[in-house]
A and B are shown apart, each in its own frame.
Chain A
Amino acid sequence: MIEEVFATGDSLMHRLDPRVRILAALAYSIPVALVSRPIPMILALVLSILITALARLQVKALFKRLIVVNSIILLFWIVVPFTFDGETIFEIGPLAATREGIIYAASVTIKSNAIFLAFLALVATMPVAAAGHAMQGLGFPVKVVTLLLLTYRYVFVIEEEYNRLLRAIRIRGFKARTSLHTYRTYAYLIGMLFVRSWDRAERVHQAMKCRGFEGKFYCLTQYRVSLEDIFFSVAMSVGVCAIGMTEWMIAIH
């Protein structure tokens, strides 16, 4: 159920320094989330598609994710054009679609996909462990990183535990329905997960202490910024500037 589909691979994106990728993702997605004009938005979408192509992701998995993201946006399209105030473009029965609503829905569609693809290409292409160490390298608080790495470590263990409990209740004839019994069963199952996690955490804590845990995990990878990293950073900066400039130019005209 839980897996990192895109984390391993052999592409330019996978080779880049994780620190560079995280910084690039931040420096790129924040301005893209804020632009409001069509030209910079489309520019961003093109740039995102470009870097996604460079990441050479599994096509099938990529489209699966795209469908999920865009089905949420589809909900947006069903509601937003008919509820926003503005100039009416067309009517379906009592519902009137407005120009403002349609423009807004379109802008969300483009921006959402652009940011999503950039995240996919830049961040989803590294294992969470690498992301954690890179965050530490970038100066994120040690406690946040330690918590992230611990959580990542045990998500898989707990998922296994959950599957075990699920198997046990199924063997006793449990079937999920819309009933109080179902909700109670799930509540006790979740309760049991928490109780077992609590006990497990105690043992893990003791084991960590035995190994001299002092509050952080040490990263043994020596990150080095390569020529590719520098080229990529420059290219991304140019892209971000171009998006910002077009937004600004249109704003003053």
Chain B
Amino acid sequence: MHISEGVLSGPVLLSGAALAVVGTGIGLKRLDYDRIARAGMLSACFFVASLIHVPVGPSSAHLVLNGIVGLILGWGAFPAILVALILQAAFFQFGGLTTLGVNTVIMALPAVIGYIALRPLIRKGGKWSIAAGFACGFLAVLLSALLVAAALIFTREDFFAVSWMLIAANFPVMVIEGIVTAFCATFFLKVKPELLT
């Protein structure tokens, strides 16, 4: 999920960049050199996995997976997503330099919120962890869509209708992300609980 270049106003771009710098700063502070190889590997994994298209009825959608990245990396989601977005720009020229900050915040802030609010519940195991996993994936995409909407509306109030359409259009993606994140989280608990510690 990202906003194209040339759409947003100066103040929105600047606030996005400032928030991204703060978030990335916190993430990097917690990332010492013993863990940088792991963070890089997980960023690469996130980058590849987010290229996967899954069928949704007659159409298809690509996975966002910011919920899962948040669960695994916590605040590290900020630098990981920043790097993934830089690579996306380099390989496919999606997004770009001026929107890098805003787009990082759009994806990474919901990831961190999921990490803080839902990870303790997921780690408990059992039925609750499935529900919390679903909520984590669902809310991560919903919050991202809300942040996109906020960025657009702060640029121009006329974007109100567009924002509603955008949130509604992303509803199927939220459900799919919820399902995938729930399965993924229970998979981690069974196979490699260290991923969630």
- A contact set with B: CB distance below 8 Å: 1-4, 25-26, 29-30, 32-34, 65, 68-69, 72-73, 76, 79-80, 83-85, 100-101, 104, 107-108, 110-112, 114-116, 119-120, 123-124, 128, 131, 141, 143-144, 146-155, 157-159, 162, 176-178, 180, 182-184, 186-188, 190-195, 197-198, 200-202, 204-205, 208, 213-215
Contacts and interface: CB of A to CB of B under 8 A. Distances in A.
Nearest to B157: A85
B156 A104 contact: yes
A115 to B, nearest CB: 4
B interface residue count range (under 10 / 10 to 19 / 20 to 34 / 35 or more) = 35 or more
A186 B55 CA distance: 11
Given A190-B49, A191-B188, A177 B40 contact: no
B87 A112 contact: no
B196 to A, nearest CB: 11
Interface string B122-152: 0000000000000000000000000000000
Contacts of B34: 205
Interface in B55-74: 55-57, 63, 65, 68, 72
A76 B184 CA distance: 34
Secondary structure of the A contact surface, majority rule: helix
Closest CB pairs A-B (n = 10): A150-B40, A111-B6, A187-B183, A191-B187, A83-B161, A201-B41, A154-B44, A201-B38, A112-B6, A84-B158
Nearest to B51: A1
B96 A162 contact: no
A190 B68 contact: yes
28 contacts: A1-B51, A2-B91, A33-B6, A33-B98, A33-B99, A65-B93, A79-B165, A108-B6, A111-B6, A123-B89, A123-B97, A124-B90, A143-B36, A143-B79, A147-B79, A150-B41, A150-B44, A151-B44, A152-B44, A176-B55, A177-B55, A186-B52, A187-B184, A191-B183, A197-B45, A198-B42, A204-B41, A213-B33
B183 A131 contact: no
B109 interface: no
A190 B96 contact: no
A191 B180 CA distance: 9
A39 to B, nearest CB: 16
Contacts of B195: 194-195, 198
B28 interface: yes
Given A107-B6, A111-B6, A148-B87, 10 more contacts: A112-B6, A131-B90, A143-B28, A143-B31, A158-B45, A186-B63, A191-B184, A193-B45, A194-B68, A194-B188
B47 A155 contact: yes
A151 B87 contact: yes
Contacts of A152: 44, 87
Contacts of B18: none
A10 B12 CA distance: 38
B42 A201 contact: yes
Contacts of B191: 191, 195
B44 A155 contact: yes
A180 B52 CA distance: 16
B33 to A, nearest CB: 4
A144 B93 contact: no
Contact of A154 (B40, B89, B162): B40
B43 A147 contact: yes
A151 B54 CA distance: 24
B150 to A, nearest CB: 17
B82 interface: yes
B176 interface: yes
User: Chain A CB within 10 Å — which of B24, B99, B158 has the most?
Assistant: B158
Given A183-B183, A204-B41, A112 B36 contact: no
A210 B161 CA distance: 57
Contact of A176 (B54, B72, B80, B180): B54
Contacts of A124: 90, 93
A155 B86 contact: no
Contacts of B92: 65, 68
Interface in B14-50: 24, 28, 31, 33-34, 36-45, 47-49
